[in-house]
Structure 1
Amino acid sequence: MENRSYHTPRGGHPPQTDLLSGRAVFTTAYAVIPRGVMMDIVTSLLPHWSKTRAWIIARPMTGFSETFSQYVMEVLPGGGSAKPEPDSRAEAALFVVAGSLSIEHDGATHRLRPGSFAYLPAGSAWTLQNDGAEVATFHWIRKAFRSVEGIEAPEAIFTHEDEHLPTPMPDTDGRWATTRFVDPTDIRHDMHVTIVTLEPGAVIPFMETHVMEHGLYVLEGQAVYRLNEDWVEVQAGDFMWLRAFCPQACYAGGPGRFRYLLYKDVNRHASLW
């Protein structure tokens, strides 16, 4: 098992002596929500959740996310929910970054720890509980599942990052690699949630421009990201949203590796509306 680090929001509130400055950017092509704005005052409470708060960092709205929502959930010991998901259309991807959790699904109990990943199909009946002694933090990505006639829906997945070898990108000597929790050829899935790792000095050496919408939460390290026409410095705890076709590239410029949790929509025709 490798030595891994996953950033968690610290919350709190800045003192009145702090300067009014920051790195937050919101455009029609991309947005950067830096870790410094994830304070107590911007958290949300959710129905049927106890001892829990959420940083909602993406939601479908005009000029922003179109295919997904993403929460950073903080659950105190004894907290959780017996009715976590109110929308039967919503599939879920969960990734734990701190503490431990138990999920009840289909009559079985699954224990999750930092690095654990869970996929819960749309319409699933599941519950979540922090039955540990420490605060638990996890990412919750929600998406309306797009079913396809003649193709069955995917089943639930419970796994851990340690169980998946990163897949190196061609001709990179492993310096740019992706940890995949789902077989990329499995057409049943309409979204992928992966972890991308770039070693110090590694690059995404071309301006990616593609139909997939992205959500990127930096788990570890720092880099300079090219977003549309701008170069933006990002670090652990920052979140980036990239609209479909937003040009993107990256230099991993820190002393350590740069890693982020990546969402993208896949495997479906473009909607005509």
Structure 2
Amino acid sequence: MSKTPYFAPRGGHPPQTDLLTDRAVFTEAYAVIPKGTMRDITTSFLPFWTATRLWVLARPLSGFAETFSHYIMEVQPGGGSDRPETDAGAQGVLFVVEGTVSLTVAGQAHDLGEGGYAYVPAGADWSLRNDGGAVARFHWIRKAYVAVEGLDAPDPLILNDADIAPTVMPDTDGAWATTRFVDPTDLRHDMHVTIVTFQPGGVIPFLETHVMEHGLYVLEGKAVYRLNADWVEVEAGDYMWLRAFCPQACYAGGPGPFRYLLYKDVNRHMALPRSG
């Protein structure tokens, strides 16, 4: 396990003596991708990236979650890309879980260490390198930006989890809180990537059922999560992928905090079909 507060996969393969049984499941409403599935054989590569591999945790699928992709990137020392994004319409959020990367956005250079967050607007000129001596691992969440006439495009953001006071949910006495990297009232943004924290015993006390799609990567701890009609145990390194309107709730049993990185799509009209 990672020595940082954030779990990061290492790859490798289990021995031939291990049982095949695992917690992986894909249903019409949700998927659970356990940390044990993130092995060497499930990695991929991207054009114009050097000394880099990735795990694809989510991608748009018709009839399932359709708005985003979610990668875990693993960049060796000296690796990176001067042309990381090949889709000019794609915005991105980066969140570093291990090591340090050097990110340049719109001519401004930034070092992102563990807990580092970056919002990269669609069409931005950016590059990323690992100039350190250790492997760097980070999440990269991508969504096609939906522009709205009369609203400016969002600016780049460089922040860190450790510098942001979590917003405590009302009437929870601190048991449930959200670290928000973007002001929820800033309608220039059409996606939010936050960190949700439950203290031991904290719960989502009702079945959330809503239009937003979710990707949830467990950064720390363990819990029991309600997904549609099932209760599923999850722990650090697991990923949950929820389509719109999938009922969801949570119970954090401890012994420590339960934290996850959360994607959701927000702040836009629902696209309507056109006849003819």
Task: Flag whether TM exceeds 0.5 (same fold).
Answer: yes
The Cα of 1:228 is off from its aligned counterpart by: 0.3
- What's the counterpart of residue 171 of structure 2? 171
The Cα of 1:30 is off from its aligned counterpart by: 0.4
Structure 2 residue matching 1:141: 3-state secondary structure? strand
User: Which residues in structure 2 correspond to 1:76-225 (within 5 Å)?
Assistant: 76-225=76-225
Structure 2 residue matching 1:60: 3-state secondary structure? coil
Structure 1 residue matching 2:36: 3-state secondary structure? helix
- What's the counterpart of residue 9 of structure 1? 9
> What per-residue deviation string (whole Å, max 9, x for no partner) do you get for residues 70-129 of structure 1?
000000000000000000000000000000000111111100000000000000010000
- What's the counterpart of residue 249 of structure 2? 249
User: CA–CA distance in 1 between the matches of 2:53 and 2:171?
Assistant: 43
1:78 maps to a residue whose letter is G
User: CA–CA distance in 1 between the matches of 2:103 and 2:119?
Assistant: 11
1:84 maps to a residue whose letter is P
The Cα of 1:62 is off from its aligned counterpart by: 2.3
Contact 2:65-2:244 at 8 Å conserved across structures:
no
User: CA–CA distance in 2 between the matches of 1:127 and 1:193?
Assistant: 21
User: CA–CA distance in 1 between the matches of 2:204 and 2:176?
Assistant: 8
The Cα of 1:265 is off from its aligned counterpart by: 0.2
1:135 maps to a residue whose letter is V
TM-score by length of 2: 0.97
2:28 maps to a residue whose letter is T
User: CA–CA distance in 2 between the matches of 1:63 and 1:270?
Assistant: 15
Residues 1:21 and 2:34 are matched in the alignment? no
* Uncovered stretches (5+) of structure 1, i.e. residues with no partner: none
- What's the counterpart of residue 59 of structure 1? 59
TM-score by length of 1: 0.98
Structure 1 residue matching 2:41: 3-state secondary structure? helix
The Cα of 1:237 is off from its aligned counterpart by: 0.2
- What's the counterpart of residue 234 of structure 1? 234
The Cα of 1:14 is off from its aligned counterpart by: 1.2
- What's the counterpart of residue 258 of structure 2? 258
The Cα of 1:267 is off from its aligned counterpart by: 0.2
1:227 maps to a residue whose letter is L
User: CA–CA distance in 2 between the matches of 1:227 and 1:189?
Assistant: 27
2:166 maps to a residue whose letter is P
User: CA separation of 1:207/1:251 partners in 2, compared to 1, >3 Å: closer, same or farther?
Assistant: same
Moved over 3 A (4+): none
Structure 2 residue matching 1:123: 3-state secondary structure? coil
Structure 1 residue matching 2:215: 3-state secondary structure? strand
User: CA separation of 1:214/1:76 partners in 2, compared to 1, >3 Å: closer, same or farther?
Assistant: same
Indicate the percent of aligned positions where both proteins have the same amino acid.
Answer: 68
The Cα of 1:4 is off from its aligned counterpart by: 6.6
1:261 maps to a residue whose letter is L
> What per-residue deviation string (whole Å, max 9, x for no partner) do you get for residues 123-155 of structure 1?
001000000111000000000000001111100
> What per-residue deviation string (whole Å, max 9, x for no partner) do you get for residues 155-189 of structure 1?
00001112210000000011100000000100000
User: CA–CA distance in 2 between the matches of 1:107 and 1:205?
Assistant: 45
Structure 2 residue matching 1:41: 3-state secondary structure? helix
Aligned residues: 271
